[in-house]
Amino acid sequence: NSAIQAGKWHQGAGMKAFYDILIVGAGHAGAQAAIALRQKKFEGSIGLVGNEKYPPYERPPLSKEYLAGDKPFERILLRPESFWPEREIDLLTGNRVSKIDPVAKKVTLTSDDEIGYGKLIWATGGSPRMLDCPGSQARNIHAVRSRADVDKIMAALPSVDKAVVVGGGYIGLEAAAVLTKLGKQVTIVESLDRVLSRVAGEPLSRFYEAEHRRQGVTIELEASVSGFETNDEGIATAVTLADGRTLAADMFVVGIGIIPETGPLVAAGAATGNGVDVDSHCRTSLDDIYAIGDCAAHSNAFADGAMIRLESVQNANDQAKVAALDIIGEEAEYDSVPWFWSNQYDLKLQTVGLSAGHDSHVVRGDPDSRSFSVIYYRDGKVVALDCVNATKDYVQGRKAVVEGLNLDKNELVDTDIPIKEVGVR
């Protein structure tokens, strides 16, 4: 269905010169902030400015059902098109904020239009980190961040036999799974010694490596990209690795993380480091400016209070709600338990907590059965669970993470004992 075409949508809403709440970034966090304000009966004006040309949509399906062609765009919209005007939320898509004046309390768009605000919510996510090496500008090297990125991939697929995916994180692995399912010959190139090394423990990494190989994917570990060979038309024909090998392919997909979109806030003087620093109410160091979602660095209780950014729908939605409550004067602090999911082939991974920095782990169930969980401990407390096709463990393990329980490891490995009945030491 082509009803929601680029550029068509945003003509609906007229732009005001001032909004009581101006939200920049119409992704998961920005959209949820607007929704939460209206749910809380906030009656002031709300403007939702988005760089992309589409109404707010879900990003996770971009590397899953949308890329696979299993879900059309209409089915990944965060809300039906009619929702925004009905709630009097002015959706100003196709507009990029280039400057913030925190004293005059106004933003400037790349069109030079200015919009004043009472309070500003910065919800701009991040832009995909791309490779910077010879040939890396070739037009068949793709990111997987926006609908536009994935539409380009999908349009090119009919003439693709071989694809190289650079990056063995969740997005790279999910893209590899879909491309494989679509009959492409896929190679994953990962610079570290295992996939998912930044987000999961070794048993999970090895399990996913084995699964991908079983599906026909080639995985090159400890392999870093040094450049791309290109033809006369500027098309990349092969990727070159640091050890001198070349891997020929028709398409290259890069999933190596994001760079938080913080430029205008940095220029305006906000405290930033790895993203925009926010307090537990999602307030930045600048008056009346909040930041939420992928771009916001916050002290997270589940990371021992470290300042981190979380790139997840959970974090985007929960921070949006905190900012909305703070704006309307209701007490709220961000202390949500992190959770995440990933779908690859017929495997549903559900994660709760943060495993980074764990000092031991237990594997519950047999990975060969394709249903198991990895439970991570730090200082004798459960800090996270990765559950593969094991929703019961995920649901029951949440309490252990929230309460930092020291679950008995001998009982935990016994799958006949439900996690909620495992003893605490």
Binding site for ligand FAD (CB under 6 A): 24-30, 49-52, 59-60, 62-63, 96-97, 123-125, 144-145, 171, 261, 293-294, 311-314, 316, 340-342
Please tell me the distance from the alpha carbon of residue 54 to that of residue 71, in angstroms, as a whole number.
16
Gyration radius of the chain over CA positions: 22
Q: Which residues neighbour 201 within 8 Å (Cβ) at sequence distance 6 or greater? A: 355, 358, 361, 374, 376, 386
Smallest distance from the beta carbon of 239 to ligand FAD, in angstroms?
Answer: 21
> β-strands 347-353, 381-388: how paired?
antiparallel
Smallest distance from the beta carbon of 234 to ligand FAD, in angstroms?
Answer: 26
Q: In terms of CB distance, is 171 or 176 closer to ligand FAD?
A: 171
Q: In terms of CB distance, is 277 or 412 closer to ligand FAD?
A: 277
Smallest distance from the beta carbon of 269 to ligand FAD, in angstroms?
Answer: 17
Please tell me the distance from the alpha carbon of residue 322 to that of residue 281, in angstroms, as a whole number.
6
Q: In terms of CB distance, is 51 or 284 closer to ligand FAD?
A: 51
Please tell me the distance from the alpha carbon of residue 172 to that of residue 165, in angstroms, as a whole number.
6
Q: In terms of CB distance, is 59 or 364 closer to ligand FAD?
A: 59
Q: How far is CA 388 from CA 151, 203, 371, 392, in A?
A: 29, 11, 5, 10
Phi, psi of 38 (to 5 degrees): -70, -35
Question: Residue 345: is it exposed, middle or buried by C-beta count within 10 angstroms (0-12/13-18/19+)?
Answer: middle
Q: In terms of CB distance, is 279 or 411 closer to ligand FAD?
A: 279
Smallest distance from the beta carbon of 168 to ligand FAD, in angstroms?
Answer: 15
230: amino acid identity, one letter = T
Which tokens in the block code for residue 292? 């939420």
Phi, psi of 154 (to 5 degrees): -65, -40
Smallest distance from the beta carbon of 381 to ligand FAD, in angstroms?
Answer: 24
Which tokens in the block code for residue 388? 């593969």
Smallest distance from the beta carbon of 124 to ligand FAD, in angstroms?
Answer: 3
Smallest distance from the beta carbon of 92 to ligand FAD, in angstroms?
Answer: 9
Which ranges of 309-369 would DSSP assign to H, the alpha helix? 313-327
Q: Return the DSSP state at 407.
A: B
| Closest-approach residue to ligand FAD (CB) | 27
Q: In terms of CB distance, is 52 or 407 closer to ligand FAD?
A: 52
189: amino acid identity, one letter = V
Which tokens in the block code for residue 375? 């439970």
Q: In terms of CB distance, is 52 or 190 closer to ligand FAD?
A: 52
Smallest distance from the beta carbon of 115 to ligand FAD, in angstroms?
Answer: 11
Please tell me the distance from the alpha carbon of residue 380 to that of residue 258, in angstroms, as a whole number.
33
Give the bridge partners for 186, in sequence order.
Answer: 163
Q: Which residues neighbour 132 within 8 Å (Cβ) at sequence distance 6 or greater? A: none
CB of 279 within 8 A of CB of 266?
no
Smallest distance from the beta carbon of 216 to ligand FAD, in angstroms?
Answer: 22
Q: In terms of CB distance, is 175 or 405 closer to ligand FAD?
A: 175
Q: In terms of CB distance, is 52 or 220 closer to ligand FAD?
A: 52
Q: In terms of CB distance, is 96 or 370 closer to ligand FAD?
A: 96
Smallest distance from the beta carbon of 132 to ligand FAD, in angstroms?
Answer: 20
